[in-house]
């Protein structure tokens, strides 16, 4: 007989539910691990191939793409068309999702993939008609330019057809349509939109005259009008606030810095050039750095994703950079509509038929939205796209960018130019947006031109307000002749600089603009250049990172003279302000106090009488505020705020209260970087937990501000969202080498090593050297 099994009474049988629980947990863990493995593999499979071989059927011969250490593609081809085919393919590798969103945004088609949230935005861009304007432009392009646009599109489409799409397409359930030349030109029109043209300020001025006395209204005009303009009687007026409730307005701080110095003032004896255009900052960067090479074509620099060529940069003989001129190229027209026929408008005592377009906006998970767009002889009616405005009086927009224009033609000619004469010849075709071009040549020439279509007004003050659409005398009188645009070649000073500042003197015969940037960046650049010789690229880089605040230099003594501190904390804060070196350094407390103080002064001046909705049309409010402070108690708006001492003191007390509540009672703990930091936000990072993958982590404290050479504009949350996402310096002693930083990096793929690899460099002011000679790195051969 067997031995009886002894049962240990201390041992208890494991409950079945515990076995089940552990089994369930094991399955869950297995599923999670499997999902992580799948997602990891799925996202990695769409990383761009940078080594080995790829195929592009449209090629005439093999092309090599060498990626340097910063991910900059250097494309070498045996002919120009293959260069542009490969450029389209490579841009799609790194930036296809950005390109997709860009063409949808500019075309008014975001709602197809986003849903109802972007319907108003789509309505506005359909109304403006950027894509319609691109169609008109495409029709006037040369055969050569069309060939290059087609070649670029062939490259983009080859990638989409043969390679895995970036993961964002799956996240948003987008099946991209083939790329077309029209898509590239539409993105170009959007860049003209982003650089603005001041119709918003005309609308604001119109609102002021409707709601305030002439004296109060004119004081907020960007220029005090010599001949007092008038508006229609109240019964005919357009309600600005209601009519434009959901309008899309570009960032008013879109600007830039550039400068060029002659060889007489450099260590190398050759000209040097610097450029840092200021636009929105996000992930991926608005700029994409490339080098394109074929027989007779060798150019390096940056371009907007979705567009062929190089828009800013250099070749073997020349270099160039731009800033925004900001001319009055947009004009609002008051239109009298027929009381019985909404498609007829009065012109010279006769009723004219408007052009009518029916647009259908498809909406994800929603019903399509039908939109009727009406275009008068001046342009689209924009005042009632979101609802009713005046009963029979509306506002239309005349804008140079809605005409047929040929910027790509200009870019191709600029890329091939070898001296100032050939470069300026190419500029004849660069019509919008109007830009301040600075130029340097290996032959020693430095030059400048404010280039583009600038309308001629009968009187400069006409550009301050909407004009009468029914009177021929209110029409533009053509455009400033190309040969009469502002121009400088080899000045005696040995340097040229622009920073969106006023560029003309009183004797210039044409009106350019009423709206210029505050002068502080330009003045500081001039300070740093005047009297300096033996300049080096390293000094130019340091200048681009300069954070001296000349606005504070001017106004802080005035503010401190008028402020009346009450509490011990206010007195301590004021004492610290006296010690400030006027630099917007992220480690200092004083910039935080100064910028908050100036913002609160604006609030005290405007918030009582101007709603937040109407203030978004107050383009250039900072410059207006400066003028009011200079006038002091003579200003009606300062008087309404209680006079200078009350205005300055109330704003200061509000500032100290806000800052102490946010950062503590000890001013030694305050720092500008705590309220001024950069993140380079991805457009999809607000979805769920994607921010941890698509953004850079905690925001990085940043020096600078809107008024320093190191431009760093910020939103109401303190996030730096505007500035120089690309910085560029070149010494023409050796034009095969140039210095760059593209924040936050070259790639739009979050798994790429080049996704955020330049973010720290951007924050700290480090540059990388790009060579167009003897390039080393990973090599991809693209075969026919």
Q: Which residue matches tokens 């009727």?
A: 372
The pair of three-digit structure tokens given for residue 513, joined into one six-digit string: 């603009």
Q: Name residues whose C-beta falls within 8 Å of residue 132's C-beta, 6 or more positions apart in sequence.
A: 357, 402
Instruction: Classify 632 in phi/psi space as left (phi over 0), alpha (psi -120 to 50) or beta.
Output: left
Q: Name residues whose C-beta falls within 8 Å of residue 599's C-beta, 6 or more positions apart in sequence.
A: none
Is 239 annotated for ligand binding? no
Long-range contacts from 340-343, C-beta under 8 angstroms, 24+ separation = 342/374, 343/374
Q: Quick one: CA dihedral 603, 608, 609, 615, positive or negative?
A: positive
Active-site residue (options: 107, 137, 256, 270): 256
Q: Where are the beta strands (DSSP E) in 311-354?
A: 312-315, 318-324, 330-336, 344-347, 350-353
- What does the longest C-alpha to C-alpha distance in the chain come to? 124
Q: Which residue matches tokens 């250049």?
A: 529
747 in catalytic set = no
Question: Which residues on neighbouring strands pair with residue 196, listed in sequence order?
Answer: none
Long-range contacts from 630-634, C-beta under 8 angstroms, 24+ separation = none
Q: Quick one: CA dihedral 656, 659, 665, 668, positive or negative?
A: negative
The pair of three-digit structure tokens given for residue 130, joined into one six-digit string: 């950027």
Q: Which residue matches tokens 């798994």?
A: 751
The pair of three-digit structure tokens given for residue 576, joined into one six-digit string: 């610290």
Q: Is cis: bond before 284, omega within 30 of 0?
A: yes
The pair of three-digit structure tokens given for residue 26, joined into one six-digit string: 């094991």
The pair of three-digit structure tokens given for residue 283, joined into one six-digit string: 């992930």
Length of the chain: 784
Q: Quick one: CA dihedral 34, 36, 38, 41, positive or negative?
A: negative
Cα 158 to chain center, whole Å? 29
Judge contact between 110 and 121, C-beta under 8 A.
yes
Map 57-86 to HEC letters: CCCCCCEEEEECCCCCEEEECCCHHHHHHH
Instruction: Classify 658 in phi/psi space as left (phi over 0), alpha (psi -120 to 50) or beta.
Output: alpha
Calculate ∠ Cα 43-49-51, nearest 5°.
145
Q: Which residue matches tokens 């001013």?
A: 667
Helix, strand, coil share of the chain (percent; to 5): 40, 20, 40
Which contiguous run of DSSP H or E holds residue 779?
A: strand 778-783
Q: Where are the beta strands (DSSP E) in 214-286?
A: 255-261, 272-280
- CA 178 – CA 153 distance, rounded (Å): 8
**Cα–Cα nearest to 205, from 608, 597, 507, 618:** 618
**Cα–Cα nearest to 72, from 594, 768, 781, 782:** 768
- CA 374 – CA 377 distance, rounded (Å): 10
List active site positions. Answer: 256
Please give the annotated binding residues for Ca(2+), written as ranges: 328
Please give the annotated binding residues, written as ranges: 328
């Amino acid at each position: 007989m067997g031995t009886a099994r002894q049962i240990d009474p201390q041992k208890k049988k494991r409950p079945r539910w515990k076995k089940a629980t552990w089994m369930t947990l094991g399955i869950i863990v297995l599923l999670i691990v499997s999902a992580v493995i799948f997602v990891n593999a799925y996202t990695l499979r769409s990383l761009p191939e940078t080594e080995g071989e790829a195929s592009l059927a449209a090629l005439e011969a093999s092309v090599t793409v060498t990626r340097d250490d910063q991910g900059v593609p250097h494309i070498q081809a045996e002919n120009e068309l293959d260069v542009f085919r490969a450029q389209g393919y490579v841009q799609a590798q790194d930036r296809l999702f950005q390109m997709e969103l860009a063409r949808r945004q500019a075309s008014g088609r975001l709602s197809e993939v986003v849903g109802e949230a972007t319907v108003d935005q789509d309505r506005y861009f359909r109304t403006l008609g950027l894509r319609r304007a691109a169609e008109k432009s495409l029709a006037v392009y040369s055969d050569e330019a069309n060939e290059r646009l087609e070649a670029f599109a062939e490259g983009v489409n080859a990638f989409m057809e043969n390679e895995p799409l970036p993961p964002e397409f799956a996240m948003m359930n987008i099946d991209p349509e083939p790329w077309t030349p029209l898509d590239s030109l539409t993105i170009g029109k959007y860049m003209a939109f982003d650089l603005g043209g001041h119709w918003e300020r005309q609308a604001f001025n119109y609102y002021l005259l409707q709601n305030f006395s002439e004296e109060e209204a004119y004081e907020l005009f960007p220029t005090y009008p010599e001949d007092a303009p008038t508006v229609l009687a109240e019964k005919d007026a357009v309600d600005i606030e209601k009519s434009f409730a959901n309008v899309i307005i570009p960032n008013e701080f879109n600007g830039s810095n550039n400068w060029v110095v002659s060889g007489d003032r450099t260590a190398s004896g050759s000209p040097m050039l610097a450029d840092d255009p200021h636009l929105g900052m996000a992930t991926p960067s608005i700029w994409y750095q490339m080098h394109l090479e074929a027989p007779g074509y060798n150019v390096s620099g940056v371009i907007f994703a979705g567009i062929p060529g190089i828009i800013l940069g250099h070749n073997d003989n020349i270099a160039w950079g731009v800033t925004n001129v900001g001319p009055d190229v947009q004009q609002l027209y008051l239109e009298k509509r027929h009381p019985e026929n909404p498609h007829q408008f009065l012109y010279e005592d006769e009723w004219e038929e408007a052009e009518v377009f029916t647009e259908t906006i498809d909406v994800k998970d929603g019903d399509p939205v039908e939109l009727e767009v009406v275009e008068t002889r001046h342009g689209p009616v924009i005042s009632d796209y979101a609802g009713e405005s005046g009963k029979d009086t509306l506002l239309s927009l005349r804008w140079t960018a809605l005409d047929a224009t040929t910027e790509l033609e200009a870019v191709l000619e600029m890329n091939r130019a070898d001296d100032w004469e050939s470069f300026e010849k190419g500029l004849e075709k660069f019509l919008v947006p109007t830009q301040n071009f600075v130029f340097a040549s290996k032959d020693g020439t430095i030059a400048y031109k404010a280039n583009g279509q600038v309308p001629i007004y009968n009187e400069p003050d006409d550009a301050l307000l909407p004009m009468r659409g029914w009177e021929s005398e209110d029409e533009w009188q053509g455009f400033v002749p190309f040969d009469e645009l502002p121009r400088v070649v080899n000045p005696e000073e040995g340097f040229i600089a622009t920073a969106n500042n006023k560029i003309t003197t009183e004797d210039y015969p044409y009106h350019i603009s009423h709206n210029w940037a505050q002068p502080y960046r330009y003045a500081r650049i001039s300070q740093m250049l005047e009297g300096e010789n033996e300049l080096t690229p390293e000094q130019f880089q340091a200048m681009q990172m300069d954070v001296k605040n000349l606005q504070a230099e001017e106004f802080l003594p005035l503010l401190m003279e008028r402020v009346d501190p009450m509490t011990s904390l206010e007195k301590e804060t004021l004492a610290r302000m006296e010690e400030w070196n006027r630099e917007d350094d992220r480690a200092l407390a004083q910039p935080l106090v100064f910028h908050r103080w100036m913002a609160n002064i604006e609030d005290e001046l405007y918030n009582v009488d101007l709603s937040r909705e109407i203030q978004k049309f107050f383009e250039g409010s900072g410059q207006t505020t400066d003028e009011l402070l200079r006038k002091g108690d003579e200003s009606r708006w300062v008087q309404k705020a209680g006079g200078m001492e009350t205005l300055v003191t109330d704003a200061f007390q509000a500032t100290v209260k806000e800052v102490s509540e946010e950062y503590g009672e000890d001013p030694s703990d305050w720092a500008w970087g705590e309220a001024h930091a950069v993140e380079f936000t991805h457009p999809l990072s607000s979805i769920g937990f994607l921010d941890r993958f698509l953004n850079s982590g905690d925001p990085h404290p940043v020096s600078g501000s809107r008024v320093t050479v190191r431009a760093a504009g910020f939103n109401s949350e303190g996030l730096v969202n505007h500035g120089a996402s690309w910085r560029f310096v070149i010494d023409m002693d050796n034009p095969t080498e140039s210095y760059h930083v593209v924040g936050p990096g070259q790639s739009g793929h979050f798994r790429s090593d080049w996704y955020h690899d330049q973010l720290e460099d951007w924050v700290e002011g480090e540059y990388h050297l790009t060579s167009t000679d003897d390039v080393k790195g990973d090599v991809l051969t693209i075969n026919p």
